[in-house]
Structure 1
């Protein structure tokens, strides 16, 4: 027991639980709130000069947290209160009527009065734009080598938000979409929620427009850390469906890559919502696949554009008058 206490102190575990807020977004009529209840841990802010050893320690701390299933969370906006139960992954979500409030409060309702719990609050993002851009993250904006497990794993544990590299031109492209045409940004990824703060900090540091980030609910820990970002990508389809339903008046551009089934997922969305998808851009990870019949069909029957670089995407978007 004493040895385990030393280990938990070394990895930064704290003797309390906390709410991690992920989303508080409104369409003007409803408010959607999502978060997670976990065992708290101590984590210092990353720095660009951190060496791989420090980043690996930070990764160990990040994935040493335990999700807390089956506890009630009180979600409060103004005078409106909703109680919601965390699922097996410690994740909770709920819808509330929208009020002109600026923040939402999330409070754990402890089963044991001796529990030490940290509450959280999050600023509400009200979205009323008519154009949206849904972007994948790994190998779309962030160099991840997602199809090479060894490279991907080393990058994920040895780098941090300030040392991970974006694809050249991504910031320029997305800033043009947001600044010149007023697109609202959304990010959908197969990364798990343990990487939420890393992705948010990466976007800020690289001057890539922020927006709601929707990740995979499945909890990853030290035992299965190598599975992070892998497995089924069906949740991407579910998250995009949610965005289309939650913002029924919005039309979208979809951007992804060919490495994690984005073309197939986006094609399904195009077939289901033919009037809602304006165009699809796919970064081609394996150029040898560019001549496949499936790719040709997507290009001819759906508004798919397979590109090799962000600069090619910018030129094409300008030609299509998207920017």
Structure 2
């Protein structure tokens, strides 16, 4: 057997079969070394919510974006070759706070970190360590860094879906969705016309030069696609924000990508609303799946916090249902806009005073 040197001085013996497997994974740009991913968290003056994953196996970051179908196919499939690191210790460092949590069966960790003293608004660094619970002395197997957002005072915050809300995805038809996901990449895919300009106006409305109205992106897409979505958002100039995605899927489940459960998305939105109970929110989604149903439920429960609901018209078969749900939203005194083009949503935002141009 040979010995493989891991980061932080950790060594592991590996067989010939293991070496061949390691070689094949390297060709696919998949690492079988421990990895910690820390996603963008959020908080208020009392506590921070930090979350991420720990992996035994995960995809390396994509470095080149060649628009070749086969290359794009491999690049997406390798995102689902993850192997979580379950039930292990993760140590988090935020400012002067140190917190320990145990990852769940999916390798996911989440920590609610109390703040003895409020932190200033803005992005704050988070560091995470994956700690071995079997090696002595204590061994750090991997480290990761991320950020947590404490929003500046703002007129409102925005919670947006992703697929078919700003990213053209064809979510209503699984075959079309998979074709786009598996044959294109984060640089070749396109946002809807006018959506980026509308989001930028919402982010910058009624605020100073050094602050913006925060964006939270809550989606049925899995955490496997986090880097993919982040790359797309940054390339296309969408407002910087916090992402709340759905549980990981394995390669055998790739045909079910984007098919999350109704209540989990509602719960993620509710967590954001309850973190900022005195804040107004704008909800943005589409009618391809469950957004109208989820958002109507959010309005029923958190009426006073919802300023407006925007639903993009994607799926003609859902039009009647969506119109009825939008009427129920309006009946609660919450403004709504069911639109086919982002220019119409932008005009509505101007009309009700969300934006000033």
| Residue 283 (1) aligns with residue 315 (2) | no
Could you tell me how far apart the structure 1 residues matched to 2:204 and 2:26 are? 46
Which residue of structure 1 lines up, in the alignment, with residue 342 of structure 2?
310
Between stretches 44-53 and 83-92, larger displacement belongs to 44-53
Q: Say which of 198, 211, 221 aligns to 1:173.
A: 198
Between stretches 253-262 and 3-12, larger displacement belongs to 3-12
Equivalent pair of 1:178/1:185 in contact (CA under 8 Å): yes
Could you tell me how far apart the structure 1 residues matched to 2:132 and 2:241 are? 32
Could you tell me how far apart the structure 1 residues matched to 2:61 and 2:130 are? 24
Q: Secondary structure at the match of 1:57?
A: helix
Which residue of structure 2 lines up, in the alignment, with residue 111 of structure 1?
133
Which residue of structure 2 lines up, in the alignment, with residue 71 of structure 1?
88
| Residue 255 (1) aligns with residue 284 (2) | yes
TM-score (norm 2): 0.84
Cα deviation code 1:192-250 (max 9, x no counterpart): 1111111111111001101001001x221111111111142321100110001111121
Cα deviation code 1:41-61 (max 9, x no counterpart): 453535443312211121122
| Residue 55 (1) aligns with residue 72 (2) | yes
Could you tell me how far apart the structure 1 residues matched to 2:260 and 2:70 are? 27
Equivalent pair of 2:128/2:143 in contact (CA under 8 Å): yes
Q: Say which of 181, 197, 202 aligns to 1:156.
A: 181
Could you tell me how far apart the structure 2 residues matched to 1:88 and 1:75 are? 19
Equivalent pair of 1:27/1:128 in contact (CA under 8 Å): no
Alignment of 1:72-221 (within 5 A): 72-98=89-115, 100=119, 102-113=124-135, 117-130=141-154, 131-182=156-207, 183-216=213-246, 218-221=247-250
Pairwise CA RMSD: 2.1
Could you tell me how far apart the structure 2 residues matched to 1:286 and 1:226 are? 20
Between stretches 258-267 and 39-48, larger displacement belongs to 39-48
Q: Secondary structure at the match of 2:165?
A: coil
Q: Kindly tell me: are residues 264 and 116 of structure 1, through their superposed partners in 2, closer, same or farther at Cα, counting changes over 3 Å? A: same
Equivalent pair of 2:296/2:329 in contact (CA under 8 Å): no
Unmatched 5+ stretches in structure 1: none
Equivalent pair of 2:326/2:336 in contact (CA under 8 Å): no
Between stretches 305-314 and 281-290, larger displacement belongs to 281-290
Could you tell me how far apart the structure 2 residues matched to 1:113 and 1:187 are? 39
**Post-superposition shift, 1:6?**
4.4
| Residue 25 (1) aligns with residue 57 (2) | no
TM-score (norm 1): 0.92
Could you tell me how far apart the structure 2 residues matched to 1:305 and 1:27 are? 30
Could you tell me how far apart the structure 1 residues matched to 2:197 and 2:25 are? 43
**Post-superposition shift, 1:116?**
7.5
Between stretches 58-67 and 166-175, larger displacement belongs to 58-67
Unmatched 5+ stretches in structure 2: 1-16, 208-212
**Post-superposition shift, 1:88?**
1.3
Q: Secondary structure at the match of 1:275?
A: helix
Could you tell me how far apart the structure 2 residues matched to 1:310 and 1:149 are? 24
Which residue of structure 2 lines up, in the alignment, with residue 39 of structure 1?
56
Q: Secondary structure at the match of 1:181?
A: coil
Q: Secondary structure at the match of 2:164?
A: coil
